[in-house]
Amino acid sequence: MHKSKIIERIKSKDAQIGVIGLGYVGLPLAVQTAKAGFTVLGFDVQKSKVDMVNKGQNYIGDVVGEELAKTVKDKKLSATTDYSKINRCDVVIICVPTPLDKYMQPDVTYIKNSADEIVKYRKKPSFIILESTTYPGTTEEILKPILENDGSRLGEDLFIAFSPERVDPGNEKYKTHNTPKVVGGCTHSCNEMGELFYGSILTGGVHTVSSPRIAEMEKLLENIFRLTNIGLVNELAMLCDRMNINIWEVIEAAKTKPYGFMPFYPGPGVGGHCIPIDPFYLTWKAKEYNFNSSLIEACGHINQVMPEYVAEKISRILNRNKKCISGSKILIAGIAYKRNIDDYRESPVLRIIDILEKQGASLVFADPHVEEFKNHDGDKIYKTTKMDRDLLSSVDIVVITTDHDAFNRAEIMEYSRLIYDTRNFIKENNSKVVRL
Ligand SMILES: NC(=O)c1ccc[n+]([C@@H]2O[C@H](COP(=O)([O-])OP(=O)(O)OC[C@H]3O[C@@H](n4cnc5c(N)ncnc54)[C@H](O)[C@@H]3O)[C@@H](O)[C@H]2O)c1
């Protein structure tokens, strides 16, 4: 009976939806859900974000500002810091951060804190979905027991599922609405609800699996697939450099194979809230099973040393030009961890900056998507400058760390003295360009 109540409310779109955590994942999801006709209440601990949402102001690149403004104006979307309002929500989706602590161990306190608040105010019956990336077992071992603390019984007045978020910030083709969704419910009814709910807000299709653990693991597989392939190509890039082979030309050639190969590209390391973090949720969990996931660790290590490799290479290039890092003026072009976005969380560029600064370089920064940023230790704020001819010609070397489309190739080529291109942004072969 409880089950059919939620199902009916989802079908009629009378269900109220709560989204906890209005960041890169939660805000696009909240807007998409409101656009689909549901009434959405977003929760965040940051009052500044809540205020912006309520004013219809956007702060996430992948959200269309006009769509956010319209859903707020139509009273389909609002936000609050007040958890007691969770008692209005039939469906609650948790999209809070899942970082690593300083010992590289999963920090699931954000999930626990959200669950502690949900259980205090939850409407009964309600359907709780976890979207934050995490290790297999979190939904059933952490979330479920907290939610059952008030005496609720799974399958009666409480329904739970894990459904990983797959958003790829900056991806022009695949957004929240057209990316297929995986749902792993704690029971068959939870899967039914998940399929119905996501099916009514997205066009990408819903794939249900037999348990939350499968869904948790499949998300990690996706990200580990990326981590290991990037690690592989970074290792080959370092070897190719020694062998004087152009890795980029090698990849272009390998790409012509119509099956069994998928291109990954080298770079200064990995960044963002996913690839440098999620795989280590699994390596940590694996230890509980006395299992050493050595391939993941090895690839993680390769990606981690890339910033040092890049700094070392800059030193060698300057040296060949009778300069040293200390005292050289270096333009770091790109702070974000990948092209055309403003996210610089875990960006490998911050490590490069840290190394170069400690060696006495005089650094300037350009990034059309990032106005200011905090350094690697988070205790200093830097501002970026507009990249123009004066800036380019005033530095000893330009290091292209992020291949933003907004950077002007021709201008960089014309006015720079030396270029170290870690992204193969400057396609041209020229004696002043060195590629990773
Ligand atoms: N960013 C991505 O590209 C991406 C892609 C797929 C999956 N994910 C996963 O999604 C999850 C969220 O990532 P994100 O990038 O959106 O993080 P984010 O930092 O952009 O957003 C998280 C939001 O949660 C809020 N928050 C923290 N604790 C809270 C609490 N107790 N109650 C309410 N709000 C709280 C924060 O203030 C923040 O606004 C993570 O598990 C991440 O691994 C992220």
Q: pLDDT tens-digit profile of 413-435?
A: 999 999 999 999 998 888 999 99
Same domain? For 189 and 268 the reply is: no
Strand order across the beta sheet in which 362-366 lies: 362-366, 329-333, 397-400, 419-421, 433-435
Provide the pLDDT confidence category of residue 1 given band limits of 50, 70 and 90. Answer: low
For residue 146, the model assigns a pLDDT of: 98
- Domains held by the chain: number: 2
**Residue ranges with strand state E in 265-368:** 329-333, 362-366
For residue 61, the model assigns a pLDDT of: 87
Indicate which residues carry an active-site annotation. 274
Domain end (from 160, 189, 210)? 210
Q: Does any ligand 1 atom lie closer than 6 A to the CB of residue 97?
A: yes
How far is residue 322's CA from residue 271's CA, in Å, rounded to a whole number? 32
Per-range mean pLDDT, top range of 164-168, 309-313, 430-434: 309-313
Q: Does any ligand 1 atom lie closer than 6 A to the CB of residue 347?
A: no
Same domain? For 269 and 202 the reply is: no
Same domain? For 271 and 360 the reply is: yes
Q: Report CA-CA distances (Å) from 201 to 81, 193, 208.
A: 25, 13, 16
Selected residue with higher pLDDT from 331 and 3: 331
In a domain, 224, yes or no: no
Same domain? For 167 and 273 the reply is: no
Helix (H, G, I), strand (E, B) or coil at 16: strand
Same domain? For 116 and 257 the reply is: no
What is the torsional sign of CA 380, 381, 387, 390? negative
In a domain, 89, yes or no: yes
In a domain, 233, yes or no: no
In a domain, 236, yes or no: no
Q: How far is the CA of 325 from the centre of ligand 1 (A)?
A: 38
Same domain? For 345 and 405 the reply is: yes
The count of other CB atoms within 10 Å of the CB of residue 14 is 12
Q: Does any ligand 1 atom lie closer than 6 A to the CB of residue 50?
A: no
In a domain, 230, yes or no: no
What's the token pair of residue 319?
A: 């040296």
Same domain? For 172 and 270 the reply is: no
On the question of pLDDT at 380 being above 80, the answer is: yes
pLDDT, one tens digit per residue, over 49-87 is: 999 999 999 999 889 999 999 999 999 999 999 999 999
Q: Which of 291, 92, 264 is nearest to 193 (CA)?
A: 92
What's the token pair of residue 135?
A: 């290790």
CATH number of the domain bearing residue 141: 3.40.50.720
The DSSP string of 55-122 is TT----TTS-HHHHHHHHHTTSEEEES-GGGGGG-SEEEE-----B-TTS-B--HHHHHHHHHHHHH-
Q: How far is the CA of 65 from the centre of ligand 1 (A)?
A: 19
Q: How far is the CA of 197 from the centre of ligand 1 (A)?
A: 21
What's the token pair of residue 356?
A: 């170069």
In a domain, 228, yes or no: no
359-369 average pLDDT score: 97
For residue 139, the model assigns a pLDDT of: 98
Q: Which of 388, 274, 376, 314 is nearest to 25 (CA)?
A: 274
pLDDT, one tens digit per residue, over 214-273 is: 999 999 999 999 999 999 999 999 999 999 999 999 999 999 999 999 999 999 999 999
Q: Which of 38, 46, 39 is nearest to 22 (CA)?
A: 46
Atom of ligand 1 nearest to the CA of 169: 3
Same domain? For 194 and 123 the reply is: yes
Q: Does any ligand 1 atom lie closer than 6 A to the CB of residue 95?
A: yes
Same domain? For 268 and 347 the reply is: yes
On the question of pLDDT at 178 being above 70, the answer is: yes
Average pLDDT, the chain: 96
Same domain? For 206 and 263 the reply is: no
How far is residue 424's CA from residue 436's CA, in Å, rounded to a whole number? 8
For residue 3, the model assigns a pLDDT of: 84
Determine if residue 269 is left, alpha or beta; phi over 0 gives left, psi from -120 to 50 gives alpha, anything else beta: left
In a domain, 221, yes or no: no
Q: Which of 205, 158, 157 is nearest to 181 (CA)?
A: 205
Atom of ligand 1 nearest to the CA of 26: 16
Same domain? For 185 and 39 the reply is: yes
Determine if residue 380 is left, alpha or beta; phi over 0 gives left, psi from -120 to 50 gives alpha, anything else beta: beta
Q: Name the residue range of residue 153's domain.
A: 2-210
How far is residue 51's CA from residue 53's CA, in Å, rounded to a whole number? 5
For residue 170, the model assigns a pLDDT of: 84
Q: Does any ligand 1 atom lie closer than 6 A to the CB of residue 25?
A: yes
Same domain? For 120 and 24 the reply is: yes
The count of other CB atoms within 10 Å of the CB of residue 208 is 20
For residue 249, the model assigns a pLDDT of: 97
User: What pTM does this model have?
Assistant: 0.94
On the question of pLDDT at 397 being above 80, the answer is: yes
Longest alpha-carbon distance in the chain: 79
For 165, phi then psi, to 5°, come to: -90, 140
On the question of pLDDT at 342 being above 70, the answer is: yes
For residue 169, the model assigns a pLDDT of: 85
In a domain, 219, yes or no: no
For residue 2, the model assigns a pLDDT of: 80
